[in-house]
Amino acid sequence: MSRDRDEAKIRVIALESLNERQQLLTVDAVAVARQQRPDVLLMDVRMPVLDGIDATRRIAGEEATRAVRVIVLTTFDLDDYVYRALRAGASGFLLKDTSPEQLLAAIRVVADGGALLDPQVTRRLIAEFAARPTPTTPTRRIAELLTAREIEVLGLVGHGLTNTEIAERLVISIFTAKTHVSRILTKLGLRDRSQLVIAAYEYGLVVPGSNPS
């Protein structure tokens, strides 16, 4: 459906694996993204020929389709794909039993530049990092790339705080908080908040189970 963003309407394309006919190949998903340029693309992680994660990586990596936001859909038993999907550039990761209302809410969040993970998926993502050794201080590379304030903001994003909550915690304006987030995305070469969360964990800014200080 093609609609005007000014009227709070979003253009969405859903791509799913067809069990009976298997007509829609993941290779076509990339072509559809190039041709249609949807605001949000719903991607089935299980696609024939090339899986949805590789298709997401291609869409996120091409200049022509970088603005397309991908929400990956999967069944409960595929939680091992979460980390790969986010690293590939997905802006959201939802289970297929998500209610229509939750799906619509997720589409709106992602279309507006946010990130969204199903709560069960989030728990598994945290568990994945909990099983890994985590540095107690930020790595030298992140300190070279970001200012001290930006590192602080990245850590808060990693803890799941919104721009409004970050602004309140740091006693800054919401505009300043948004500016910090935007600059961090640019400096780290990332697409959205989903990847910022991953980066915060990878750089040791967030320890699973901890609260923002």
Q: Where are the domains of the chain?
A: 5-128, 133-202
Q: CA-based Rg of the chain, rounded to a whole angstrom?
A: 17
Per-residue pLDDT band for 211 (boundaries 50, 70, 90) equals low
- Token digits of residue 20: 């009976």
Check residue 4 and give its pLDDT: 40
Closest-CA residue to 117 (of 80, 146, 151, 91): 91
Mean pLDDT of the chain: 77
pTM above 0.75, yes or no: no
Task: Scan for tokens 């992140």, then name that residue.
Answer: 142
- Token digits of residue 6: 């000014």
Q: What is the 3-state secondary structure (H, E, C) of 125-164?
A: HHHHHHCCCCCCCCCHHHHHHCCHHHHHHHHHHHCCCCHH
* Residue partners of 65: CB distance under 8 A and separation at least 6: 30, 33, 34, 37, 58, 59
Domain 5-128: CATH architecture, name and number where available: 3-Layer(aba) Sandwich (3.40)
99-127 burial: b if 16+ Cβ within 10 Å, else e = eeeebeebbebbbeebbbbbeebeebbee
Check residue 167 and give its pLDDT: 95
- Token digits of residue 141: 């590379």
Q: Determine the Cα–Cα distance for residues 92 and 160; give it in Å rounded to an integer.
A: 14
Fold category of 133-202 in CATH: Arc Repressor Mutant, subunit A (1.10.10)
Q: Is 173 exposed, middle or buried (0-12, 13-18, 19+ CB in 10 A)?
A: exposed
Average pLDDT over residues 177-185: 95
Which percentage of the chain shows pLDDT scores above 70?
A: 69
Please tell me the least confidently modeled range out of 47-61, 68-82, 93-107, 143-157.
68-82
Q: Determine the Cα–Cα distance for residues 49 and 70; give it in Å rounded to an integer.
A: 19
* Residue partners of 11: CB distance under 8 A and separation at least 6: 1, 2, 3, 36, 38, 39, 40
Q: Determine the Cα–Cα distance for residues 210 and 206; give it in Å rounded to an integer.
A: 7
Find which of 25-34, 46-55, 78-87, 155-164 is predicted with most confidence, using mean pLDDT.
155-164
Q: By three-state DSSP, how is residue 169 classified?
A: helix
